[in-house]
Amino acid sequence: MVQLGPNRYGKAETHVVHVARGGAPDGGDLVTDRTVSTSLSGELAATHLTGDNSAVLATDTQKNTAFVFAKTLGAVPAEAYALALAEHFVSTQQPITRARVHVAEASWTRSGAHSFCRSGAATRTTTVVLDADLGASVVSGVEDLVVLNTTNSEFWGFPRDEYTTLAETKDRILATEVSARWRYRGVDVEWTDAYGAARAALADAFADTYSYSLQQTLFAIGTRIVESVPDICEVRLALPNKHHFLVDLAPFGLSNDNEVYWAADRPYGLIEGTVLADDAPPEGLAWV
Amino acid sequence: MVQLGPNRYGKAETHVVHVARGGAPDGGDLVTDRTVSTSLSGELAATHLTGDNSAVLATDTQKNTAFVFAKTLGAVPAEAYALALAEHFVSTQQPITRARVHVAEASWTRSGAHSFCRSGAATRTTTVVLDADLGASVVSGVEDLVVLNTTNSEFWGFPRDEYTTLAETKDRILATEVSARWRYRGVDVEWTDAYGAARAALADAFADTYSYSLQQTLFAIGTRIVESVPDICEVRLALPNKHHFLVDLAPFGLSNDNEVYWAADRPYGLIEGTVLADDAPPEGLAWV
Amino acid sequence: MVQLGPNRYGKAETHVVHVARGGAPDGGDLVTDRTVSTSLSGELAATHLTGDNSAVLATDTQKNTAFVFAKTLGAVPAEAYALALAEHFVSTQQPITRARVHVAEASWTRSGAHSFCRSGAATRTTTVVLDADLGASVVSGVEDLVVLNTTNSEFWGFPRDEYTTLAETKDRILATEVSARWRYRGVDVEWTDAYGAARAALADAFADTYSYSLQQTLFAIGTRIVESVPDICEVRLALPNKHHFLVDLAPFGLSNDNEVYWAADRPYGLIEGTVLADDAPPEGLAWV
Amino acid sequence: MVQLGPNRYGKAETHVVHVARGGAPDGGDLVTDRTVSTSLSGELAATHLTGDNSAVLATDTQKNTAFVFAKTLGAVPAEAYALALAEHFVSTQQPITRARVHVAEASWTRSGAHSFCRSGAATRTTTVVLDADLGASVVSGVEDLVVLNTTNSEFWGFPRDEYTTLAETKDRILATEVSARWRYRGVDVEWTDAYGAARAALADAFADTYSYSLQQTLFAIGTRIVESVPDICEVRLALPNKHHFLVDLAPFGLSNDNEVYWAADRPYGLIEGTVLADDAPPEGLAWV
């Protein structure tokens, strides 16, 4: 005999673009570009077991709602938008007891009163989970942020087993594509300020850390974010090591004094870790 | 003050291809094509806090080991390969107390004694987690499997709130790209037989189920797998609803009796759920 | 002073799925899955110079037309569909003197009366160019076809300049992802038969050729297609060399007798070439 | 009987990263990040017909050479690097009579003396073709540049045939991902200045043009580049129309005064065109 376990359903990747006409301080426009994914949980056994959909708010309706809230809320921060959307689903649909809203926000740079250029440098993310019983949690972060230090990175002192061939190095390139998510202590936060502060802490910690391992850099980044932004109690990072291999030019009679590298694709190191404030509250449903 | 939370590190996406020359029953070759990701956990605080790497088996070494085990084990099933690799790391590296090994296996079809054509129809996956204290778990599955029913799918009876515009339908295309993972009860399994049986159960359940919701289809698939393969105690599925919208041809004086569809990319419905055997053992670390 | 040069415009990647209900010989359904791109040329200076759109059949209309023709033509071969669509645009829009229609067709395998599984093994393509003065040309082909020979491939005898370090080999894996396009002599062709014959010739030539270079394999494939299918007068191939590097296991005390390979992503060799029948008619606009 | 037609071969996507230590005016480092693809043509019949590789400079050697020239040339502009590489192949390999070198350059922003953040906003490209008889041509450009105007775009006055349903609009979002390539008149150019000027002209023309069609915008961009940069004689543009559809909020009792849009993926309009200086020299092999 079988039973239904945890489940959720929703509409993924609704690409919502909002234009606040004249919304910039100088009278120019503001563009808010969000890819929104919602998913709902609750008393949903019936649709799984018999196809009775009376509790299933259609994913098409969830999409419509994402557009409607963009209209009614305007250019609020992603976290506020996601909280409102989640609250709406849980408060208006009796069988729905939990909503998860994920937003990936692309940034655009103004280049005229009405003209914009998409900045590919990073994607701002937020994930809100709102549960009827357990309340709301907010995890925000950044993706697609590629950073590189040309020096100030060593890697040595690692164990040498029978399968180890890697040479030790006292000077290497350290590059990674940062995927960071940070958990807020609550929902009463100046979201845009907090995002900016976390983002700056991240970049600064990467640039400032003299690194003996990418793990050390990871911990430095997480620590800097937690210590710089009091509203943040936990940071989770996934840092692929974008290997830059020094090319052996000796066969060609040339030296290579840390000048020319081959940037490889795969395989890659992958360093994942968590940094928590000592007084971080329990995570609850934040990371589901 | 901050502390280090859960962490792991490893080498991702080492693409290992093994040729068993003359390994097929008819004397032809066998190709095993695996993309292997390993990650290790344990007493790794030092590298995070000070950059002391004495416990950090280099990710380059993990890559080497993935190649070595392909050589020494040959064409064993992915699950056996992953278990052996995980066991190696945990048993030989004192500070390493847990290993996670993920394998994505592409399939190739023989077209001659030494010739092969890659079959893009599906990717076989396995994830082994082996913990020094808690033992081993094996989760296998399939990805990139796109299936479609031209009929026998309805969707109606869903709630209509103020943002609902979707029409009910008694006949639609149902298409999805299956991402399935199933948990085994133990490690003493005929892996290839079990994979084949689960894969067949999945396909049959999709084809056979007259569906009133993709959730219902999900539950039918999970149930069929659990009931068909006694070694499997749990199935987790993520089913994107690959919407096929009936094109309105009325403006052109034409009917569209479920003939012509627009296959949309985004947004898409996303249905996620779990089916468990009633006597499934605790999941432990299987899904980390 | 500047002038307008060659130009065209259209709607790209309209994903059209057609179901022929009961269209299979056994009464099952047929699914035709095409991603259609149309583009039009002609007297289009006005829209470029002044924004006068009186000659610009909207790309939205082109999309509608792609759906309408799927309805009216049903499950005809991609080449017939593309020819009809191109003919429609050129014959009905006076300023439009040329149409290019590209179709990428995914294949689905029946797994029940109404059930299908997408076969990822290859994509069938066709490109029709129809010019009011110069008539029609048809180029068809295949993409996403990955093939591999485990042996019967050598590479040696190449020049060794000051930057050459590659060792010669008498036995290597040869793998490539075939991108093939073949030009038909005319438009009175049994398209599906010709496609099948070309596809089989391609696969057979790859498997049968004992290869001293991927160029040699390319020429063998092109030759086999031209010689096997009289309606085809030219073949263009792009063959990335999907390098499989033999892993050096000597540091671990192991031999590697062509067993274990690392399948690399980038960089990759790329071999491009053309094979023509001696009596191939001029290419005209076939490849624009 | 068949014959060998046009052909070429080479190494694609060698990812070369060069660090000029202390190369910045302020003593910081410079990073040059290039993905380099080379391909060679000439007397290559033998390898196709018999597998005789005596004329085939190995693609592995081409890769090595790409690294060596990064070392010896340092941080020269991409065009100079590509010209030197092409010249090397043609001048040193007797059977090789033509080389094509393509470079895609990612940009990095300094964030510290040794720290960088990859700017995803655009990729700089160059393609050099150097033929022993016909000399050299240089085509440079930009990719991955996404721009958007929130207004100042109309689309109306297009023909309405039986398949036209699109409404006319006097105010829409205009967004595109620019793919631009411009041909230089010669090889004696201040490459970096010219790139900067062309890039600025492109952005300005997009922002400044009140547009009645994307074709008009395309022509305005091409014209502005040609007129701003005397060294450039021709521009080719491919502009996908990244449709932003105004969401119909009327069913929800809400207006949508050009505020909320759905950004669609596919299908998309695709506008391609060329703008030439009246005195542009013949294109020769520039675009092969």
Q: What is the pLDDT of residues C238-249, one digit of tens each?
A: 999 999 999 999
pLDDT band for position C143 (cuts 50, 70, 90): very high
Is residue C91 pLDDT above 90, yes or no? yes
* 8-state DSSP, C207: H
**Chain B neighbors (3+ CB pairs < 8 Å):** A, C, D
The residue among A11, A15, A18, A19 with the most chain D CBs within 10 A of its CB, best to mutate, is A19
How many angstroms separate the CA atoms of C281 and C276, rounded? 10
How many angstroms separate the CA atoms of B52 and B49, rounded? 8
Strand extents, DSSP E, chain A: 2-20, 30-42, 96-110, 115-131, 135-149, 174-184, 232-241, 244-246, 260-263, 268-277
The verdict on domain C142-288 having CATH code 3.30.530.20 is no
Average pLDDT over residues B208-220: 98
Predicted confidence at residue D120, as pLDDT, reads 81
Cβ–Cβ gap D163/B252 under 8 Å: yes
Cβ contacts of C251 on chain A, cutoff 8 Å: 165
Cβ contacts of C269 on chain D, cutoff 8 Å: 9-12, 59
Average pLDDT over residues A98-119: 96
Q: Which of C18, C259, C264 sits opposite B18 (nearest CB)?
A: C259
In whole angstroms, how far apart are CA C180 and each of A105, C141, C188, C201?
A: 39, 5, 21, 12
Q: Which amino acid is at B233?
A: C
B63 noted as active-site residue = no
**pLDDT, tens digit (0-9, with 9 covering 90-100), for D24-39:** 999 999 999 999 999 9
* % of chain D at pLDDT higher than 70: 100
Cβ–Cβ gap B61/A161 under 8 Å: yes
**pLDDT, tens digit (0-9, with 9 covering 90-100), for C4-43:** 999 999 999 999 999 999 999 999 999 999 999 999 999 9
pLDDT band for position A134 (cuts 50, 70, 90): very high
pLDDT band for position A168 (cuts 50, 70, 90): very high
Predicted confidence at residue A59, as pLDDT, reads 98
Cβ–Cβ gap C147/B118 under 8 Å: yes
Contact by Cβ (8 Å): A66, A11: yes
Cβ contacts of C277 on chain D, cutoff 8 Å: 1-3
Contact by Cβ (8 Å): C174, C161: no
> What is the CATH number assigned to the segment(s) B141-288?
3.10.270.10
Contact by Cβ (8 Å): B5, A273: yes
| Fold (CATH) for C1-133 | Urate Oxidase (3.10.270)
The verdict on domain A137-288 having CATH code 3.20.20.390 is no
Q: If you search the block for the tokens 């610009």, which residue do you land on?
A: C56
Q: Are strands C2-20 and B268-277 parallel, antiparallel or unpaired?
A: unpaired
Q: Which residues of A touch C (CB under 8 A)?
A: 162-163, 165, 251-252, 265-266
Q: Which amino acid is at C281?
A: P
In which region does residue A271 sit, left (phi positive, over 0), alpha (psi from -120 to 50) or beta (all else)?
Answer: beta
Three-state SS sequence of B87-123: HHHHHHCCCEEEEEEEEEEEEEEECCCCEEEEEEEEE
Cβ–Cβ gap A212/B53 under 8 Å: yes
Contact by Cβ (8 Å): D225, D199: no
Cβ contacts of A121 on chain D, cutoff 8 Å: 109, 117-121
Which listed residue (B18, B63, B243, B244) is catalytic? B243
Which residues neighbour B31 within 8 Å (Cβ) at sequence distance 6 or greater? B17, B18, B19, B20, B108, B116, C148, C150
How many angstroms separate the CA atoms of D206 and D223, rounded? 11
CA nearest to B254 within chain D: D163
How many angstroms separate the CA atoms of B169 and B157, rounded? 10
Predicted confidence at residue C44, as pLDDT, reads 98
Average pLDDT over residues C75-92: 98
Average pLDDT over residues B219-224: 98
How many angstroms separate the CA atoms of C157 and B13, rounded? 34
Cβ contacts of A252 on chain C, cutoff 8 Å: 162-163
* CATH architecture group of domain D140-288: Roll (3.10)
Is residue D66 pLDDT above 90, yes or no? yes
Q: What is the mean pLDDT of chain B?
A: 98
Please report, for chain A, the start and end positions of each structural domain, with discontinuous segments joined by +. Answer: 1-133, 137-288
Predicted confidence at residue A121, as pLDDT, reads 80
Average pLDDT over residues A26-50: 98
Q: Which of C149, C207, C249 sits opposite B68 (nearest CB)?
A: C249
Cβ–Cβ gap C121/B117 under 8 Å: yes
Is residue D193 pLDDT above 90, yes or no? yes
Partners of C8 in beta bridges: D272
Cβ contacts of D210 on chain A, cutoff 8 Å: none
How many angstroms separate the CA atoms of A178 and A141, rounded? 10
The C-alpha R_g of chain C, in whole angstroms, comes to 23
Q: Which of D33, D152, D247 sits opposite A67 (nearest CB)?
A: D247
Cβ contacts of D167 on chain B, cutoff 8 Å: none
Buried b (16+ CB within 10 A) or exposed e, A221-235: bbbbbbebbebbbbb
Contact by Cβ (8 Å): B121, C111: no
- The answer to which of B116-120, B163-167, C169-173 has the lowest mean pLDDT is B116-120
pLDDT band for position C121 (cuts 50, 70, 90): confident
**pLDDT, tens digit (0-9, with 9 covering 90-100), for D220-239:** 999 999 999 999 999 999 99
Cβ–Cβ gap C276/D166 under 8 Å: no
Q: Which of D31, D147, D244 sits opposite A148 (nearest CB)?
A: D31
- By residue count, chain D amounts to 288
How many angstroms separate the CA atoms of A134 and A41, rounded? 13
**pLDDT, tens digit (0-9, with 9 covering 90-100), for D128-146:** 999 999 999 999 999 999 9
Contact by Cβ (8 Å): A252, C163: yes
* Chain A to chain B Cβ contacts (< 8 Å): 264
ipTM over 0.90: yes
Average pLDDT over residues A257-275: 98
Contact by Cβ (8 Å): C231, C185: yes
In whole angstroms, how far apart are CA C285 and each of A95, C38, C99, C255?
A: 61, 15, 11, 54
Q: What is the mean pLDDT of chain A?
A: 98
Task: Give the relative orientation of helices C191-208 and C214-228 as an angle to the nearest 10 degrees.
Answer: 150
**What tokens appear for D190 in the block?**
């201040």
Q: If you search the block for the tokens 């950073």, which residue do you land on?
A: A147
Q: Are strands A96-110 and D115-131 parallel, antiparallel or unpaired?
A: unpaired
Q: Which of D74, D121, D152 sits opposite A117 (nearest CB)?
A: D121
Predicted confidence at residue B121, as pLDDT, reads 81
How many angstroms separate the CA atoms of D12 and D36, rounded? 7
Average pLDDT over residues A167-173: 98
Average pLDDT over residues A90-115: 97
Q: What is the mean pLDDT of chain D?
A: 98
Is D140-288 in the same CATH topology as D1-133?
A: yes
Predicted confidence at residue B120, as pLDDT, reads 81
How many angstroms separate the CA atoms of C104 and C125, rounded? 4
Handedness of CA C265, C266, C269, C275 (dihedral sign): positive
Average pLDDT over residues A2-15: 98
Give A283 to chain D, closest Cα distance, Å.
31
Q: Which residues of C touch A (CB under 8 A)?
A: 162-163, 165, 251-252, 265-266
Predicted confidence at residue C120, as pLDDT, reads 80
* % of chain C at pLDDT higher than 70: 100
Q: Which amino acid is at B81?
A: Y
Average pLDDT over residues B91-120: 96
